[in-house]
Amino acid sequence: MEKKEINELSSAFQINNILLIESRFKRIPNVTFNNPEIKREITIDIEVNVIENKVSVSESLSFKQTFKDEEEVSAFIKMFGDFEKKDDSPLDTEEFGKINGSAIIYPYIREHFSQLAAKAGLGLIFLPPVNFVKMKSESQTKI
């Protein structure tokens, strides 16, 4: 296996900050578990703003769980990533934000959501992986 220097593997983009901007969570006292009629809706919104070499990515997740038309659990999480292009890169800054920036932020959203669900007594609710390459042409996606 060929060894690579750290400099050869580093990205042309730098992460300056990832911040939690907004977090809301709500559940009813008697949530339904293990029923095939439970419906879950997950929506992801991504906004990218580029100014010169700075890339700002705002990513939000909306989660709803309903059972027999009653909303039992809902959550909204919004996180912000601040990135900076340091070196030449074949990747456009807008494309970096939509694909890479979003993919970097998403695990933080998943972790925050999983912790909220666990603290609310819902057990672990795992959000599915997202293909941000496929999603790049859309600003909102339901998964």
Band of the pLDDT at 6, cuts 50, 70, 90? very low
Q: How far is 124 from 102, CA to CA, in rounded Å?
A: 23
pLDDT tens digits, residue range 64-111? Answer: 999 999 999 999 999 999 999 988 777 789 999 999 999 999 999 999
pLDDT tens digits, residue range 19-69? Answer: 999 999 999 999 999 999 999 999 999 999 999 999 999 999 999 999 999
Confidence at residue 10, expressed as pLDDT on a 0 to 100 scale:
63
Q: Answer whether 143's CB lies under 8 Å from 130's CB.
A: yes
Closest among 118, 114, 50 to 84, alpha carbons compared = 50
Q: Answer whether 76's CB lies under 8 Å from 22's CB.
A: yes
22 membership: H or E segment, kind and range? strand 13-27
Q: How far is 62 from 92, CA to CA, in rounded Å?
A: 28
